[in-house]
Amino acid sequence: MIRLKQDEGLWIATIDRPDKANSLTASMLEDLARIAEGALTGARGLIVTGTGKVFSAGADLDEARGGLAVSPLWERLSGAIARHPGLTVCALNGTVAGGAMGMALACDLRISVPGAKVFYPVMKLGFLPQPSDPGRLAALVGPARAKMILMAGQKIPVEEALHWGLIDRVVEGDVVAAARELAADTLAAEPEHARAIKGLIG
């Protein structure tokens, strides 16, 4: 349910469960975490995307009720993405919701197809967000807009999220191809050069 393509230093992880809105099970999260950890030394760039019309609806509902919603796997995954020394891009093929937002927030860049939405309904569902997600969200959009998403439960169209700074580009056509294009300069550079520039940005 998680497909990995390795192409000359670029790893592309694809969530492939479109019949369930790419909702994530524990085993899928484990696979994603292992890929992100492997990419720390095995890849110069990482793209995370999905199949179908939804990037991911977050936790699989049955497994969420069984404890997946508060699993440390979410934080393990987002932490590995955030530590990557090269460029990481979340290529949203559609709406992103719930815990899956952590992957997007941990990436360096977030691009999306038109018409998608971003939301994180933890208030309504009675869960806390993963520990690093609110800080990363607030760093991108500010505390008030972070509260719009996390406390007011608003579903934000990506066209609006673009103005907020949560989405970096809305792409007509092949969003993965657009992500590849964004990663091209980093892939062509020496890994130490990319790591140094990323370290200067913080």
Return all residues near 163 (Cβ < 8 A) that are at least 6 apart. Answer: none
Dihedral of alpha carbons 7, 199, 35, 14, sign: negative
Q: pLDDT of 68-85, one tens digit each?
A: 989 999 999 999 999 999
Res. 132: pLDDT tops 90: yes
Q: Considering the chain, what is the average pLDDT of its residues?
A: 97
Average pLDDT rounded to a whole number, residues 193-199: 95
Q: pLDDT of 32-65, one tens digit each?
A: 999 999 999 999 999 999 999 999 999 998 998 8
Q: Which domain holds residue 16?
A: 2-201
Residue indicated by tokens 């673009």: 162
pLDDT at 151: 97
pLDDT at 99: 94
Number of domains observed in the structure of the chain: 1
Other CB atoms within 10 A of residue 143 CB: 11
Q: pLDDT of 136-176, one tens digit each?
A: 999 999 999 999 999 999 999 999 999 999 999 999 999 99
pLDDT at 65: 85
Work out the percent of the chain whose per-residue pLDDT is above 70. 100
Nearest by Cα to 81 from 117, 157, 29, 116: 29
Average pLDDT rounded to a whole number, residues 109-128: 95
Q: What is the CATH number of the domain that holds 169?
A: 3.90.226.10
Q: In whole angstroms, what is the distance from residue 202 CA to residue 190 CA?
A: 19
Return all residues near 160 (Cβ < 8 A) that are at least 6 apart. Answer: none
Q: Residue 202 — pLDDT band, cuts 50, 70, 90?
A: confident
pLDDT at 8: 87
